[in-house]
């Protein structure tokens, strides 16, 4: 791709400085940076909660926390990771990269962009405050304790007082996500440089466009679900109460109508990232670009008609069970297309294995593991055995941690030179990668075994026969958690601009507009749109 | 006068300030609801003032934020392309609203087609019915719940039918106003838009009348079982949207009088009109599936 006009440092606008620069920003790069740091902070917070879980499960029996507090840990760990770490993380990448990739001066609606971000710290302040109050015995006696899926009646009839805080904070996260998604869609549709046709867009832009559509479609449904919870809790409505003619199962339907597209919201941008990185380091064009676009769209559309596969054991008419089972299995077709294309891109490429590529390849392999266990879970009679066991925990952590999170690490190592102007520290990066790769498998792989053997999820204790595996799972957990400190060091060094200076295009196989602006990317880029030929 | 350069606004304090307002609204609101509905369990009364201070802050900040935007628009800083961004943004926002109502309509259909028949023993649920609530009879509207709460169904052909006529008329008056805007006929525009706002206010007044009737005479309340829950949440959220739409149209009416719009530069006006038509369509669905069938 070549451009007629390259970006230049713009001297007549001067960038705002100090605290105002960050608090009042209308700049997609600064807002992207804020999102990414926020996401990383929540990743560490959610990780700390997971450490509490793994400490308790290190040995059978009750050692460190009481079961009530354990339930709060699993709940808030899930919420912090899903809504605090993974979603905002991808929004951060979108903010930084989409305008650069399509040759736009900024996001389409810059002030709304800043609002989307600043809602998040406040929403999480509300949520996390209930954990702190619970942990230190002040105010609310319990943080949300019903699992991240907050099923009724656990969250309605039996929910702790902090449930109402949780509900309002979910509303805020929803507002933030919807505004962020509208911004992405409008930016992609309306801000592309001349010549940047839809089918020339980098796949990261495509996957984010489709993700944004999913967000706008399902975050309001989540808002509806928590609103019904709130009125059931305080205004006497009977949505989830069979005595009044409602049904707790209704909650599950509404929740999973949001929840299933939500899991694709957390993985489609990862597909886009990996589809950008693999061609760079295989030094070949992406194999099957158009099929990647269609596969992404198919996955997104199918995601609306598979939600009840989370509810096979709850019970539904046989026709429903069969429908949701077949639809779910159908998703593996477009997903398989993607995995095939990534492998075919690498086939006979001039491969090198810089850090982003290492993470991307680990992603392809480990995500595929998670995808295959997902296919197993899709088979209804088998799911009756697996449901709510550690097999499910293993499955979704393979796709979320060694899937979504690994893709974010890949993206960070890939684009950090562009953001900061310095190359990420190689030694720390290698340590981070290998240490994470080994520990993540030690952490999650044995969960398949204990799950198949019948260990249920969300319990603070377990039967003696699971003790050995759980010991090693916990060791893997602590190891994986500590490994992330390497990444913290990498990020801090880049933020302080310590390291080897990065060229405008630090990866010689890279293509795309983002590599045509200098590193670090100047405060304003593409104020005059480039012409894409 | 539109420019060709895309307008990227300078840094602005309003997003952060609006987030603070939203935070106070949410944090205060959660405690307000707790303290108001369950005063024995939740002592204190600070939730309410915090909620209202938060709400006032939020609305005030949004007002000054949009005042800035209007100034920029009137000052000719907005490019055509930015107008397109605004329009697309508004359409996607309306799509999100459609999905929000979709959650409640989905709950309605699931209740009518699944929950109530199942509670009555349909499908493979004969034993559920026999063991849990053997006297329960499946029907819709559900005027007697499994635990014996009774209520009355809201008929379609009284106030609701009149309200339907009012909203449909308001859509017509708004469309006439829209044509007047595009043709530059100010007098006609102001007249028909004012009529639309007035119809919105009449609709809301009648809706309040209906609620009072439901609560005082019919025993149809929020806690009268699933029928009341669905009735009030669906019509209530619709009413809230009519309120917002009426305010929206009132503000653009004031801006019409100030001469802010012409046949080219009229995003806010059209956004208000789109929003109004959306609210109208939601009502038609409501009328058919909540009141009528």
Whether residues B24 and B124 fall in one domain: no
Separation CA B223–CA B94 (nearest Å):
30
Whether residues B159 and B276 fall in one domain: yes
Whether residues B90 and B174 fall in one domain: yes
Whether residues B62 and B107 fall in one domain: no
Number of domains in chain B: 2
Residue ranges of A 251-280 with Cβ closer than 8 A to chain B: 253-254, 257
* pLDDT tens column, A351-364: 999 999 999 999 99
Q: Please report, for the domain that includes residue A159, its CATH number.
A: 1.20.210.10
Residues of chain A positioned with their CB less than 8 A from the CB of B88: 108, 185-186, 189-190
Please name which of A126, A133, A128, A163 lies closest in space to residue A147, comparing C-alpha atoms.
A163
> What burial class does residue A17 get, using C-beta atoms within 10 Å of its C-beta: 0-12 exposed, 13-18 middle, 19+ buried?
exposed
Whether residues B64 and B84 fall in one domain: no
Q: State the residue range of the domain holding B46.
A: 10-77
Complex prediction ipTM = 0.96
CB A138 within 8 A of CB B39: no
Q: How far is B142 from chain A (nearest CA, A)?
A: 8
Q: pLDDT at residue A408 above 70?
A: yes
Separation CA B194–CA B200 (nearest Å):
10
Report yes or no on A530 lying in a domain.
no
pLDDT at residue B7, rounded to an integer: 81
Residue A449 pLDDT level (bands cut at 50, 70, 90): very high
If you compute the radius of gyration of chain A from its CA atoms, what whole number of angstroms results? 23
Q: State the residue range of the domain holding A91.
A: 19-516
Domain boundary residue among B77, B100, B118? B77
DSSP character at residue A5: S
pLDDT at residue B3, rounded to an integer: 57
Whether residues B112 and B257 fall in one domain: yes
Is A260 annotated in the active site? yes
Number of domains in chain A: 1
Whether residues B35 and B66 fall in one domain: yes
Separation CA A384–CA A249 (nearest Å):
17
Report yes or no on B35 lying in a domain.
yes
Separation CA A510–CA A516 (nearest Å):
10
Q: pLDDT at residue A110 above 70?
A: yes
DSSP character at residue A286: P
Domain boundary residue among B77, B105, B125? B77
**Averaged pLDDT for residues A175-184:** 98
Which residue in the set B65, B81, B226 is minimally distant from A190, CB to CB?
Answer: B81
Separation CA B237–CA B243 (nearest Å):
10
pLDDT at residue B15, rounded to an integer: 97
Q: pLDDT at residue A62 above 50?
A: yes
* pLDDT tens column, B16-66: 999 999 999 999 999 999 999 999 888 888 999 999 999 999 999 999 999
**Averaged pLDDT for residues A106-128:** 97
Residue ranges of A 77-136 with Cβ closer than 8 A to chain B: 104-106, 108-112, 114-115, 117-119, 121-123, 125-126
pLDDT at residue B2, rounded to an integer: 45
Q: Residue A532 forms beta bridges with which residues?
A: A3
Q: Do A24 and B116 touch (CB under 8 A)?
A: no
Given A142, A187, A280, A335, which residue is catalytic? A335
Report yes or no on A13 lying in a domain.
no
Whether residues B121 and B262 fall in one domain: yes
Per-residue pLDDT of chain B (293 residues; tens, 9 = 90+): 345 677 888 889 999 999 999 999 999 999 999 999 999 888 888 999 999 999 999 999 999 999 999 999 988 888 889 999 999 999 999 999 999 999 999 999 999 999 999 999 998 899 989 999 999 999 999 999 999 999 999 999 999 999 999 999 999 999 999 999 999 999 999 999 999 999 999 999 999 999 999 999 999 999 999 999 999 999 999 999 999 999 999 999 999 999 999 988 899 999 999 999 999 999 999 999 999 98
Report yes or no on B168 lying in a domain.
yes
Q: How far is A90 from chain B (nearest CA, A)?
A: 20
Residue ranges of A 175-234 with Cβ closer than 8 A to chain B: 175, 178, 181-183, 185-186, 189-191, 216-221, 223-225, 227-228, 230-231, 234
Angle (CA) A25 A27 A31, round 5° = 70
Given A28, A29, A140, A310, which residue is catalytic? A310
Q: Please report, for the domain that includes residue B198, its CATH number.
A: 1.20.120.80
Report yes or no on A521 lying in a domain.
no
Whether residues B98 and B20 fall in one domain: no
pLDDT at residue A31, rounded to an integer: 97
Report yes or no on A14 lying in a domain.
no
Pick the residue from chain B with its C-alpha nearest to A124.
Answer: B23
Report yes or no on A426 lying in a domain.
yes
Whether residues B61 and B89 fall in one domain: no
Which pTM was predicted? 0.95
Is A457 annotated in the active site? yes
Scan for tokens 């429903």, then name that residue.
A320
Is A414 annotated in the active site? no
> What burial class does residue A44 get, using C-beta atoms within 10 Å of its C-beta: 0-12 exposed, 13-18 middle, 19+ buried?
middle
Report yes or no on A303 lying in a domain.
yes
A176 membership: H or E segment, kind and range? helix A163-190
Does any CB of chain B come closer than 8 Å to the CB of residue A165?
A: yes
Whether residues B160 and B220 fall in one domain: yes
Q: Please report, for the domain that includes residue B46, its CATH number.
A: 1.10.287
Separation CA A178–CA A116 (nearest Å):
8
Q: Which of B5, B10, B16 should we substitute to test contact with A (largest number of A Cβ atoms within 10 Å)?
A: B16
Whether residues B71 and B91 fall in one domain: no
Residues of chain B positioned with their CB less than 8 A from the CB of A242: 115, 119, 132, 146
Residue ranges of A 366-395 with Cβ closer than 8 A to chain B: none
């Amino acid at each position: 791709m070549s451009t007629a006009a390259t970006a230049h440092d713009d001297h007549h606008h001067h960038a705002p400085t100090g605290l105002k620069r960050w608090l009042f920003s209308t700049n997609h790069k600064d807002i992207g940076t804020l999102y990414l740091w926020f996401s990383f902070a929540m990743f560490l917070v959610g990780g700390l909660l997971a450490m509490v879980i793994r400490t308790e499960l290190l040995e059978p029996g009750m050692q460190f926390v009481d079961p009530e507090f354990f339930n709060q840990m699993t709940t808030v760990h899930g919420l912090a990771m899903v809504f605090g770490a993974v979603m905002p993380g991808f929004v951060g990448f979108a903010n930084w990269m989409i305008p650069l990739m399509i040759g736009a001066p900024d996001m389409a609606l810059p002030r709304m962009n800043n609002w989307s971000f600043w809602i998040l710290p406040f929403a999480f302040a509300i949520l996390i405050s209930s954990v702190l109050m619970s942990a230190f015995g002040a105010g609310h006696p319990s943080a949300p304790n019903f699992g991240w899926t907050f099923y009724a009646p656990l969250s309605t009839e039996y929910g702790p007082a902090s449930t109402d805080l949780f509900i309002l904070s979910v509303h805020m996260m929803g507002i933030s996500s919807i505004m962020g998604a509208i911004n992405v869609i409008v930016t992609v549709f309306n801000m592309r440089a001349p010549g940047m046709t839809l089918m020339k867009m980098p796949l990261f832009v495509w996957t984010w466009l489709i993700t944004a559509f999913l967000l706008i479609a399902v975050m309001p449904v989540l808002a509806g679900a928590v609103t019904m919870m709130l009125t059931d809790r305080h205004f006497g409505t009977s949505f989830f109460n069979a005595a009044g003619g409602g049904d707790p199962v209704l909650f599950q339907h509404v929740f999973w109508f949001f929840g299933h597209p939500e899991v694709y919201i957390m993985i489609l941008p990862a597909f886009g990232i990996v589809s950008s990185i693999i061609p760079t380091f295989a030094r070949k064009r992406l194999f099957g670009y158009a099929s990647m676009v269609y596969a992404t769209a198919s996955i997104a559309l199918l995601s609306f008609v598979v939600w009840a596969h989370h509810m096979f054991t709850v019970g539904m008419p046989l026709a429903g069970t069969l429908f949701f089972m077949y639809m779910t299995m159908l998703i593996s077709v477009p997903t398989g297309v993607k995995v095939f294309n990534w492998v075919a891109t690498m086939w006979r490429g001039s491969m090198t294995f810089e850090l982003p590529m290492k993470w991307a390849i680990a992603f392809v392999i480990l995500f595929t593991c998670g995808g295959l266990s997902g296919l197993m879970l899709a088979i209804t009679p088998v799911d009756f055995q697996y449901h709510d066991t550690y097999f499910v925990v293993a499955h979704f952590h393979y796709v979320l941690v060694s899937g979504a999170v690994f893709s974010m690490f890949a993206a960070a190592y890939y684009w950090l030179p562009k953001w900061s102007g310095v190359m990420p520290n190689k030694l720390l990066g290698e340590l981070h990668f290998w240490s994470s790769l080994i520990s993540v498998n030690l952490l999650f792989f044995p969960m398949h075994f204990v799950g198949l053997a019948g260990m249920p999820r969300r319990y603070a204790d377990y039967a003696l026969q699971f003790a050995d595996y759980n010991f090693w799972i916990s060791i893997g957990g602590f190891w994986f958690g500590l490994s992330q400190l390497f990444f913290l060091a990498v990020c801090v060094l880049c933020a302080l601009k310590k390291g080897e200076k990065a060229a405008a295009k630090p990866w010689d196989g890279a293509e795309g507009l983002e590599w045509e602006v200098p590193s670090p990317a100047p405060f304003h880029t593409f104020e005059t749109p480039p012409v894409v030929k | 006068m539109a420019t060709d350069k895309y307008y990227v606004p300078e840094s602005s304090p309003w997003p952060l300030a609006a987030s603070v307002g939203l935070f106070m609204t949410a944090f205060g609101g959660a405690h307000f609801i707790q303290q108001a509905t369950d005063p024995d369990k939740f002592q204190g009364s600070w939730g309410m003032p915090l909620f209202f201070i938060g709400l006032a802050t939020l609305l005030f900040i949004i007002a000054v934020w949009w005042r800035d935007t209007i100034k920029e628009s009137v000052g000719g800083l907005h490019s055509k392309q930015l107008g397109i961004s605004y329009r697309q943004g508004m359409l996607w926002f309306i799509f999100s609203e459609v999905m929000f109502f979709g959650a409640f309509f989905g709950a309605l259909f699931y209740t009518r087609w699944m929950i109530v028949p199942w509670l009555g023993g349909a499908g493979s649920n004969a034993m559920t019915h026999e063991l849990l609530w053997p006297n329960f009879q499946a029907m819709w509207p559900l005027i007697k719940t499994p635990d014996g709460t009774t209520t009355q169904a809201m008929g379609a052909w009284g106030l609701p039918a009149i309200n339907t006529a009012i909203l449909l008329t308001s859509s017509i008056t708004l469309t006439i106003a829209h044509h007047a805007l595009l043709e530059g006929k100010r007098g006609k525009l102001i007249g028909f838009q004012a009529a639309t706002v007035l119809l919105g206010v009449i609709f809301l007044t009648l809706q309040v009348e209906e609620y009072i009737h439901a609560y005082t005479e019919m025993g149809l309340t929020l806690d009268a079982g699933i029928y009341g829950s669905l009735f009030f949440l669906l019509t209530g959220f619709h009413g809230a949207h009519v309120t917002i739409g009426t305010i929206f149209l009132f503000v653009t009416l004031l801006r019409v009088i100030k001469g802010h719009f012409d046949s080219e530069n009229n995003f806010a006006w059209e956004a208000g009109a789109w929003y109004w038509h959306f609210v109208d369509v939601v009502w038609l669905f409501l009328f058919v599936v909540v009141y009528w069938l």
